[in-house]
Amino acid sequence: MSVFTPTQPPALAQGVVSAAALPAADVLRALDVVDGEGLTGEEVLRRQAQYGSNAVATHRARVFPVLWHQLRSPLLGLLAAAAVASFLVGERSDAVVIGLIVTASVGLGFVNEYRAEKAAEALHSQVHHQTVARRDGRATPVDVTALVPGDLVELRLGDIVPADLRLTAVTGLECDESVLTGESLPVDKSLATVTAGTPLAELSGCALMGTVVRTGAARGVVVATGPRTEFGKIAAGLDTHPLDTEFQVGLRRFSMLLVYVAGALTTSIFVINVVLHKPIIDALLFSLAIAVGITPQLLPAVVSTSLAAGSRRMSRRKVLVKRLVCIEDLGDVDVLFTDKTGTLTTGRIEYMRAVPAGGQHAAAVVRWGLLGTENEARDAQDVGGNPLDQALWRSPATADGRAGLDGYAQVSVLPFDHERRMVSVLLRDRDGRLSLVTKGAPETVLDRCVDVPPAARDALAVEFSAGNRVVAVAIRPVATGTQAVGPEDERGLTLAGLLVFIDPPKPDAAMALRRLSGLGIAVKVVTGDNAAVAAKVCHDLGLPESGVMTGSEVDALDDAQLAEAIAGTTVFARVSPEAKARIVHAQRLSRGGVAFLGDGVNDALALHAADVGISVDSATDVAKDAADVILLEKDLNVLADGVGEGRRIFANTIKYVLMGTSSNFGNMASAAGASLFLSFLPMLPSQILLNNLLYDSSQLAIPTDNVDEEQLRKPSHWDIAFIRRFMFSFGPLSSVFDFITFGVMLWVFHSGPAQFRTGWFVESLATQTLVIFAIRTRRIPFFRSHPSLPLTLAALSVVTIGAVLPATPVAHTLGFQPLPMAFFATLVGMVVAYLALIEVGKRLFYGAEVTVSPAPRHYAGRRHLRRRASRFSTAADLRAGTRTSPRSGPTEVAPRT
């Protein structure tokens, strides 16, 4: 994803600041839009042509950035310059060979990385983020990138604000603006104007693009889109990389390690060769080739290919990732917070029975429960999305209760919210009498009732201990003439009874939890359900019973205390959306990766807060928009498959790193040592580059390799100290056989420079390529772990090419000379001995390895902003849609006169 830098004049970039100082009615008039009606379809098209897409970034795969990514290595630049110098001083054949090899290396990396970029583009294009806008007088789902100045947008809990808005209607709206301002506390919003020049964090009458709705709802008019928004102006200054994951941070640290090693080797080799009076051009080319040789040039291509192939495999396993880097994040997860309903349970809630209280009959309890719905329902299709209401209405056992509803009409409704955890409905019967029916969480309903029978509390405890879900129903008469109800009316209620539902555990949930445990992932349940019910389900599924916390207990702790308490808690019950997000945020302050799995509107805040937000295809649009990963089935087994795939990709990437650094370091150290006693260069620069190219080509098959089960059992993190120890431990083992080869060529075959270089070329290529079979696994002996067929064929093919190349017509051009058959017999013995020595080294190295806990994660300050920017991206060229004219008024609002 690349970020677009806006080209608008500075005055036009202040739309939301100017709009905040004007009354909402003046802003609507300036934008030529009628509140409640919105723009017409024709006007939307005109403004889209004028202002372009509401996007701040592009996810289109582009040829030149990918090519530049391959060419930007300073070592390659120096090598190309040295090749030109070599050509000018008469070493033309060497210069041409070096040029061809460098070109082939760059081309190979370009083709693989560009294919991966195209795969990422296709993946990103499958994901659409929508918002609700009023157009032609109707509320219409609209892609966020299609918004234009003047659109009327509806905001609700968990939404990411899709553009800079001047609010026109507000109901208890609070927005989390930390992505822009760094302030952790949500900001209250209203319709009030502010003085001109008010700071961004104090624009109370506006909602800013990229921020999150924490509570409440609102409607607002778009005053700025895309790069003209406050979010867009900040995003324009970002690095083109969309996200810094732990994986990418590790790659950078690893690259710096190689820079230091390559710098030291290059400098020392160049100085040694000059001191020994070897030609300066040859010494320069040789030292630069050494530097290139120690660098795993195709590492970006290997990583990109792994991720692209991984996304295809995950798709087949019913896991859709919105961005390729999400795969690495998913493999890094070691704590999963998940909801209960539909994940650990079947999600098919069934009504069981009514438990009457206070002299009521069971049929009356059912009747009041049916009437206490937010919609004036007459069948199961009218009750809305509440699964408990749906189960009550569709159950054959409630048929008698449904028969007595015709005499009642709804007068007013106080909707359910996550603070009260109740819904209240004002009803009028056929005689004109008014009644208030309150239905909701038993704890909160009973607290508002008078004279609750002890038997009712005992019955509730029994149902909870059995793991059943319970809804309490209470009633009270209301004075004639009352037209509306508020929270203050939910007092002095009489308990009518309890409605009992069952949502049994999934048959395969216990196995899925065991799989996640085997992957080193601690599963914690975060639910709005009762603590006893959630604990019973977890007990039945075999989750550790390490503790239960309620939402009120969570609210009583500060962030540090909460982070400490999480480790000893398995179930968080009766938690609000804000508390869910706090729990996830507190866990992220500790080590490891944090995932949250949820599918409801009330999960959106926690999904935004997690390192990896996971939702399901059947989830609400708000939850799916907030998620990074979408499961096509709400099944923890599917999630376990995705985690395993992420770890498999990381494991295969590390194989390439460990093998490449150790073998290359050994070979280059051998070259440095040989320079001390040889009167000629031990290998020509072109031969070093060819060796590196052939070797790297074989490693492009690593993404297909199998991974040992034990490598998937816990998250893997970049450990530069481990890579450094591995390089310095196994590199010298390679050098041992290089020096044996030197002795064989000089003292057994009495080789001249050409044959000496040929022998070392063949031996070096064979040992460093075949060692993949030993290094790719910690198992001893290595043949207990089976490599993939493509990797096996690639490695054997490259070794064969290296052995045959000295006998081909191009051998003379490359500086090679045919080798005697006795050399190949000796080579077989050296390869076998080398692999045996590696096995001994593995036993010593891993036996002495000290396991170090990963350090706490410290992401770059703009990490979440980059992640948010991917939501507002398009495959189109952003610059094509940023034409301005003197009539570009909607981004700079002023009242009409």
| Alpha helices (H) in 325-476, listed in sequence order | 325-331, 362-371, 387-394, 399-402, 442-447, 454-465
Q: What is the Cα–Cα distance from 339 to 869, expressed in whole angstroms?
A: 27
Is it true that the peptide bond before 781 is cis, omega within 30 degrees of 0?
A: yes
Active-site residue, selected from the candidate residues 151, 334, 339, 738: 339
Residue 632 tokens read as 């096509």
Residue 417 tokens read as 């919210």
Assess contact for 3 and 55: CB atoms under 8 A. Answer: no
Side-chain half-sphere CA neighbours of 780 within 13 A: 13
Tokens 């508020």 belong to 486
Q: What is the Cα–Cα distance from 804 to 413, expressed in whole angstroms?
A: 84
Beta strands in 44-129 (DSSP E): 57-58
Mark 526-551 as b/e (b = at least 16 C-beta within 10 Å).
Answer: bbbbbbbbbbbbbeebebeeeebbbb
Q: What is the Cα–Cα distance from 307 to 123, expressed in whole angstroms?
A: 11
Strands 152-155 and 130-135: antiparallel
Assess contact for 437 and 425: CB atoms under 8 A. Answer: yes
Residue 97 tokens read as 């060979």
* Helix, coil or strand: residue 89: coil
Q: What is the Cα–Cα distance from 524 to 337, expressed in whole angstroms?
A: 5
Residue 207: name the closest of 228, 231, 184, 183 by CA. Answer: 231
**Identity of residue 834:** Y
Q: What is the Cα–Cα distance from 177 to 580, expressed in whole angstroms?
A: 18
- The pair phi, psi for residue 187, each rounded to 5°, is -110, 130
- The pair phi, psi for residue 727, each rounded to 5°, is -60, -45
Q: Give bridge partners of residue 247 from the DSSP assignment.
A: none
Residue 769 tokens read as 């390529």
Assess contact for 819 and 762: CB atoms under 8 A. Answer: yes
Residue 339 a catalytic site member? yes
Assess contact for 602 and 587: CB atoms under 8 A. Answer: no
**Identity of residue 374:** E
Question: Cβ neighbours of residue 189 under 8 Å, at least 6 residues apart?
Answer: 167, 170, 173, 174, 175, 204, 205, 206, 207, 216, 218
* Helix, coil or strand: residue 254: helix
Chain length of the chain: 897
Catalytic residue ranges: 339
